Every structure is written in structure tokens, then in C-alpha cells.
Amino acid sequence: MTDIEGNASSFSNRSPVRLDGKRIALLDRDHSILAFNERVFDWAVRADVPLLERLRYLCIVSSNLDEFFEVRAAAHLTAAQQGETKGEYSVASFEALAEKAHQLVARQYELYNDSLTPAFEAHRIRVVSHSERSSAQKRWVREYFQRDVRPLLIPVGLDPSHPFPQVANKSLNFIVRLKGGDAFGRQNEIAIVKIPRILPRVIRLPLDVAPQGVQLVTLSSIIRSHLADLFPGREVSEFSQFRVTRHSDLAVDEEDVRNLRMALRQGLQHRHYGQAVRLEVSASCSRYLAEFLQVQFSLPAPALYRVQGPVNLVRLSQMVELVADRSLLFPNWQPAWPEQLPRSTSIFAELKKRDVLIHQPFESFDGVLAFLREAVHDPKVLVIKQTIYRTGSDAEMMDLLREAVRRGKEVTAVVELKARFDEEANINWAEALESVGAQVVYGVVGLKTHAKMLLVTRREGRQLRRYGHLSTGNYNPRTAKLYTDLSVLTADAEITADMDAVFDHLANQNRVPHLHHMLLAPFDLQQRMIQMAEAVGQAALRGENARIVAKMNALTDEALIQALLQAAQNGARIDLIVRGACMLPAQVPGVSERIRVRSVIGRFLEHTRVFYFAAGDKEDLYLSSADWMNRNMLRRVELAWPVKDKKMRQRIIDECLVAYLYDDRDAWTLQADGHYTRAAHVTDGLGAQNALMARYGPPRRSYLA
């Protein structure tokens, strides 16, 4: 029995998969997530990216790290606190992840202080510290503090009747050490100042005190320079800003609640006060104050992060709007109207001729909205059914569904209440739809409904005809401008019948019906993907054409990984385009040298899921809402559907697979040791995304200098 050796920082402690008698160690999922953020961070480093966009990428990395700690860190921390030495979660796993996270955080602040700040100053954009402010600026800041900040602050001095206050997840706070006695002569030396979230974190100084360029001040520096005002009669001897990150994954026992919506709404009230998993303080924070906070939050030393700047880089994204210099941003991208949807004709009429593919954000999501809008206003439309996962705060789609109800149509909305960090918005939408008479259901107990589909039933003469929309992404007009996704509009009778059967299953939870073409998780999606991979492997053994190309956001499902490795062992050639976490060890001699894994990081967030299998003369191309993750295959309602039209198939292969396989500008390749190397930079290379922008947009300069 052979083992593949790997270093502890890259390979997982999970049970390895078995392949022809060998035990194959998989890559570690959490380290792979951090590696993805390192690739995103590279865009903040690149000098060929516009300056404000570099700052935006820096903020994105910080936001991603926040979510990583909120969702992934608690199990490692708890195992370390309990002294676990074996298994997936242990002292070693916690320390290894903390080391990688500390390295990435240090690089972030080094970039911000040593590269971005001087670059901003070269463009006459400055974040002005207290010591650098003119007398007029200090007066303005003081007036701002007294007028807009001070009335919202309640300093809490700690003593037996004033215990350490509840500190919300990711909120800005100050800890202060005081000299002298309080009004009652007591020596309570520690005070906490909580800063309301409503206050902006970056403020632009007005022209009358900052006439040259753009001059900004941070809220933390304003409060820092006026801390003494909060404690009259006391001397501030030490202080530090701090921020605590808490475990924020809602856990609701669906089998034990009578009303899931009410249980989730109650759970949201406690999310901000979950288990502390990370503590950020200023680099200058004294050892005494840092240890005091660690004790309060029950955190070990590796969970403490000393930072050279604001404790929340995410909020620096406000600078983008405050500066508003178009020359420091990507050229504005205006998605093209889908060419298969003539504006002058009915979408229903077009769908009777052929299916329509919309490649977002190169083509506009407005085509999907136009489909729903036409359905709402068409008196022949009787029924509209839609899944809702992440619609965001944009009201247009929800307004259209409510208008459909008012026009007498039957509207069914399958609302996923457990969409992480969108729970509150979805609860509000569910209540708004119910209030006008829509039928709202919450999917299947124990499973998230992640499938993206919209189905319209229309009376045409004596017949009822269905029209459907399927997507790899969410019904969210804002993210549709930022994420790459594929939308398919169809009147195919068998596909739309499958969609209707899935909607019925979600509403009444009857036995899963036979589906003509669609694959449905958690029932047959994983099994069919494995079978198709096995068929490719068998074709390779026969010396026939054997090819797999799959594009997704994450690859962590052990069963699918094993099927891919076996197909490669049999001789199949496999290319995987995986944006984020990937646990498959590619390019390992004797095991996976026929598998190449690429990750493309670009201006838009890669979000399409496309699966291509060629076994001899048989070719299959599927689009899906699902990544190849265990949760998507077995704990969610997901869909995959075949692309049957030859022209559409070729267009998807060209735009979503071939373009990314030959991207030598924005691609990274996974190495055998679990690390990624960036593709050699080609000076005149466009990269896949920019090539698609050139294809769909008017002639324009490259989005990179």
C-alpha cells in the first residue's frame, strides 16, 4: 500500500481516498480557501490594476477572511482549546491555519501602508492622521466629533456592577486604561467604548479645510484623538482599538421547530454574539490590554492579530466612493443586451423558435427581468413559480412577483431562508410575498434549496405551455453585474416538465418524480456525475476519445475526486477550472499527472458551473447550480441540466471552457504540493474575461493598463 507524502500545511487530515490500492491524501480544504484569497490578493498587488480597484481587492480579501473566520475557524479553535491532537480538527490544524492567516494579514497591511498609501498620495489622495492635520482641520474634526460622534458613544467603566459589555461581531471598539479614581474614588482602570455601526468609517474633509486634492480621516483616528474627552477628570494611559470576530453560522434544528421562519429570526438576534474566534487589536496595543481582552473572549495567543492600521480594512472600501476618480477605476462596463432577444418581439415568441443563452455579465441580466416582466403583464400567463436564494435588497424582482399576484396570477415562491448571511433579507421577502397572497414555501427540511429556476405557465389556445429560466447563479441584479454566470431561457417541453416536477416536489415533498433530462441533488446528481466520469475512464481504456473539462467554484467532494482520479489513471485527460477551494491533488506523478487544475481570478467573480464529458463518440455538456462539494451533492436541492442545442453547446465550450484553458494572464495552476503558481504573464494577452468583454462590448481600451 502506497502513501503520497505531503506537507502538513497543504494536505488534509481527513481519511484519504483509495485508488488501485494506494491511499491518496487529499489537499486541505481550509488551506485551499486561504490560498484562494492569496490569489485574490495578487490583484491588489498588481501595478497594472487601477489604484482604487487595488484597494477594492484588498477589501475583498478582508471580507473573505472575515467570512472564513465566521464559518470555518470555530471547529479548529475548539479542538485546540480541548487539546485534540488527532483528526481533521486539532491543535496542529488550528496553529497551521493561524500561521497562514497571520502571514496573509501581515501582507495586507504591508501593502496598504507601503504601496497603496504612497500611490494614493501621488494622486493627491491622503488619509490624514491627527498629527498631520492643520489647525483648521483639527477644529473641523473636533466639531464633527462633538456633533456627530460623541452623542452616540457610551463609555463603560468596568467594575462589579458594570461587567465587560457584550461586543458584537466585527464591530469597532476601543479599550482604554485609565489613571486616577472615578467619581466615587474607585480605581476601576479599564473602560470599553463601543462604536455604533451607523457611523461612517472614512470621512472626507470639506474643501474649506482641505482645498488641495482629496483628504480623508478615519473614524478610529477621530475617536482616538478625542478619547480624553470621554473621561473627564481621568488620565488615559493606554488604549487600543479592537474588533472581535465570532462564529456566525446559524444552527437551527429544523426537525425540532414548528416554524422555521420564526426560529431563524430569533437565531439572527444571537448571531452577533456567537463564540469569539479572532481578536484584532492595534499593533501598539500593550501586552496588558491584549491579554485582558484575550481572557474576556477566551482566546489563545494565535487568535490575536496585531495590525498596522484600521482593524477593519473592509470599511476602507468607502474610499472608492469618496474619491470617485474614474481614472483610478476600471473603465465602466455596460453589459450588452442579449442578441438572441430582439427588443421588438415577444420573448415567448422567440423561445418557441429556440432556446436563449445569456452569458452574464458580458450580456445583461435585464434579459431575465424582461422575461419575468413580460410574464407578469401577459394576461395569458396563469402561473409563475420561482426559487429565491440570494436576491439581495433589490426590489424589482420581488415587486414583479407581487404585481403578478395583484393581476390574479398564481405565484409560488420557494424561498431559502437559510442562505448564509442573507437570512434576514429572505425572511423579509417571504413575509412581503405572503402578505399579498403568494404561496411561499421553504423547501425541504434539512436541505437548502440552491437550485435556480423560474417557470411560467401560459394558456395558448386550448393548451397550456411552459416557459422556463435556469441559471448557474442567483436572481440578484447587483451580483449579476459582478459574477460570471449562464442563464438559459427555454420552452423545451421535457425540460420545463422536469422543472414543474421539481417545483411540485419542493411544495408537497412527495416522492421524487422521474425526470426526463434534469439531474437533482441530493438524489441522482452526484451518482450521474460519477457515472459519466467512469464512462470516460472506460473509453480511455478502450483507446477512444476520453476527455473531461469541468468549471466550478469549489471541488471538495471525495467521491467525485476519487472518480476523477480513477478516470485519469485509466488514461483520460482532465482539465478542471476551479475558482476557489480544491482538494484534488493534481499533477502528482503516478497518480494525477493527467489532471490539470486552473484557477482564474479576474475583474468579475467566476461563478459558472459547466461540466463536459467526452467518452468515445458520446459527448455530454451540463450546466448546474451546484459545485462539486459534498454539501451540494447530498445536503442541498441542486439542479444540473443538459445543453442539447449544438450551437449553444459550442458557444458554451468556446466561452466558458476553451477561453479559460488558454488564459495566460489571470490563471493560476495547482502544483503537486498543493501550491498555486501564476501563469506566465503575456504582455499582449487579454485573459479570458477581457477577451469576452472585447467580444460583447464596443471597441474599448483594455481594463488593464
- Which residues are marked as active site? 450
- CA nearest neighbour of 13 among 93, 98, 69: 93
CA distances from 544 to 573, 594, 630 (A): 11, 16, 31
Kindly give, in sequence order, each residue whose CB lies less than 8 Å from that of residue 381, ignoring residues fewer than 6 positions away: 375, 404, 409, 456, 457, 458, 459
For 298-418, strand residue ranges (E) read: 304-307, 356-360, 381-388, 410-415
Strands (E), 513-635: 519-521, 546-552, 573-578, 595-600, 605-606, 610-615, 618-624
Q: What is the DSSP letter of 553?
A: S
Is 393 in contact with 383 (CB distance < 8 Å)? no
CA dihedral 587, 590, 595, 600 (to 10 degrees): -10
Q: What is the spatial distance between Cα 211 and Cα 579, in angstroms, rounded to a whole number?
A: 44
What is the grid cell recorded at 249?
453560522
CA dist., res. 471 & res. 487, Å (int): 4
Residue found under cell 486552473: 598
Q: Which among 155, 197, 315, 312 has a CA at the least distance from the CA of 245?
A: 312
Which residue, chain included where needed, has cell 474649506?
A: 208
**Rounded distance between C-alpha atoms, residue 109 and residue 122, angstroms:** 19
Is residue 663 within 8 A of residue 687, CB to CB? The reply is yes
Report the SS3 class of residue 121.
Answer: helix
- Whether the CB-CB separation of 31 and 572 falls below 8 Å is answered with no
Does residue 204 sit in helix, strand or coil? Answer: strand
The grid coordinates listed for 342 are 430582439
Cell 486616577, residue? 180
Cell of 39: 490569489
Q: What angle do CA 405, 406, 408 make, to 5 degrees?
A: 65
Q: Are 679 and 663 in contact (CB under 8 A)?
A: yes
3-state secondary structure 122-189: HCCEEECCHHHCCHHHHHHHHHHHHHHHHHHCCCEECECCECCCCCCCCCCEEEEEEECCCCCCCCCC
559 burial class (0-12, 13-18, 19+ CB within 10 angstroms)? Answer: middle
Evaluate whether 390 touches 422 at the Cβ level (below 8 Å). yes
DSSP-derived letter for residue 363 is: B
Half-sphere exposure of 93 (CA within 13 A, CB side): 27
**CA dist list (Å): 653 to 505, 644, 647:** 32, 13, 10
* Three-state SS at 217: strand
The amino acid present at 2, given as its one-letter code, is T
